[in-house]
């Protein structure tokens, strides 16, 4: 895996619609009709593995991942939240945070598996959900007063 930062889509662009960011990382909304609420937490720098990060930054990155998970649980009550860090195709640290439901297209498989069911977009107001998610994540990650 020799993708250089110059060829990296997560260095070239935000990788989705940014709903929160700080100096270390960003939370982006993935426009995926089968999976409303699908977010990625993407490190701002081109770093390959979690253990390439200083320990404090690892913890900080996971704190953001967990804030997104908590916000999605509160807003969407999914049957399960999938957290995944693969990076086989794009070796730039990013975490997938995916709300899952027993009736979704791939359940109980990962979303990258062949689908088990036809598309059945959920009746969710994505724009509203995105706004509420952005607010909830910002509250959870707000520095203590
Ligand atoms: Zn990159």
Parse the chain into domains and list their residue ranges: 5-141
* Cα of 10 from ligand 1 centre, angstroms: 5
* Cα of 143 from ligand 1 centre, angstroms: 27
The pLDDT value recorded for residue 77 is 97
Q: How does pLDDT run across 76-132, given as a tens digit for each residue?
A: 999 999 999 999 999 999 999 999 999 999 999 999 999 999 987 778 899 999 999
Q: How does pLDDT run across 27-72, given as a tens digit for each residue?
A: 999 999 899 999 999 999 999 999 999 999 999 999 999 999 999 9
The pLDDT value recorded for residue 3 is 77
* Cα of 8 from ligand 1 centre, angstroms: 5
* Cα of 130 from ligand 1 centre, angstroms: 25
Q: Which of 5, 60, 64 is nearest to 40 (CA)?
A: 64
Q: What CATH superfamily is the domain 5-141?
A: HIT-like (3.30.428.10)
Strand segments, DSSP code E, in the chain are 17-21, 25-29, 39-43, 80-84, 94-100
**pLDDT surpassing 80 at residue 1:** no
């Amino acid at each position: 895996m020799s993708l250089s930062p110059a060829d990296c889509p997560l260095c070239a662009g935000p990788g989705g619609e940014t709903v929160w960011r700080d100096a270390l990382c960003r939370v982006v909304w993935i426009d995926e009709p089968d999976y409303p609420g699908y977010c990625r937490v993407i490190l701002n720098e081109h770093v390959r593995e979690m253990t390439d990060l200083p320990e404090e930054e690892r913890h900080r990155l996971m704190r953001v991942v967990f804030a997104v998970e908590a916000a999605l649980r509160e807003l969407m009550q999914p049957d399960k939240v999938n957290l995944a860090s693969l990076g086989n195709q794009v070796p730039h640290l990013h975490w997938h945070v995916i709300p899952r439901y027993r009736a979704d297209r791939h359940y109980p498989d990962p979303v990258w598996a062949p689908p088990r069911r036809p598309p059945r977009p959920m009746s969710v107001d994505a724009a509203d959900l995105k706004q509420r998610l952005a607010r909830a994540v910002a509250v959870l990650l707000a520095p203590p007063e």
